Structure 1
Amino acid sequence: MDRRGQRRGRRFLPHRAGRRGPDLGPDAAEIYGLYLDPPRVGTGLGRQLFIQAVADLQDRGHAPICVYAYRPNRKAITFYERAGFRADGVTRLDEQDGAGVPEIRLVLP
């Protein structure tokens, strides 16, 4: 929330263990979503929320941490890579979003 009480962005922490991929181990976690109002994109708020989410998961003992990004979304992939995440070769189709676009998994060890 900003000083005027308006929502500036949201982050979601993992809530379903199966989505992260069983190959990452029992302490792994997935950051499932990061959403900003379009006028807030490019302000640094997304990075702040993401860093906070990663730190929160690390403080809870989760490692590795993963995120998924649509393969053609270079902007998102670059965002995650700048935060230290690396693509590990795992892909999936998210059947819940109905987009039919492959997602790649990026992992922070």
Structure 2
Amino acid sequence: MQPEQWTFSFGNATTQVQAEYWAGNRSVSIRQTDNGFLATLNNLHKGVGMTVPWILLVDTLAGCLIFLSISGLWLWVLTTKRRTVGWTIFGLGSLLTLGLVIARL
């Protein structure tokens, strides 16, 4: 039977630290991982190491940007007479984005 093990992990968007202790052992092993650029961006996206008020602020701003985009598109559809050019630009942008996403898979 193995002795009791305690693991404590913490960190922020750029660094992760893990401390491990086995019962009866007189030492603690510590492992530090420095994230690369993409891992840091991913951790920022997920909110790793952020406090609750900061996460709420970021989520609120993201929701406002989504609402601003959708309401702007809706107002544009309701008021613009030359919609063909706009729909063409919107369609090409959507196809380009979809193509880039598929190429990354």
Taking structure 2 as the reference length, the TM-score comes to 0.24
Higher helix fraction (1 or 2): 2
Query: Computing the radius of gyration over CA atoms, which structure comes out larger, 1 or 2?
Result: 2
Q: Which has the higher contact order (CA 8 A, sep 6+)?
A: 1
Q: Which has more strand, going by share of residues?
A: 1
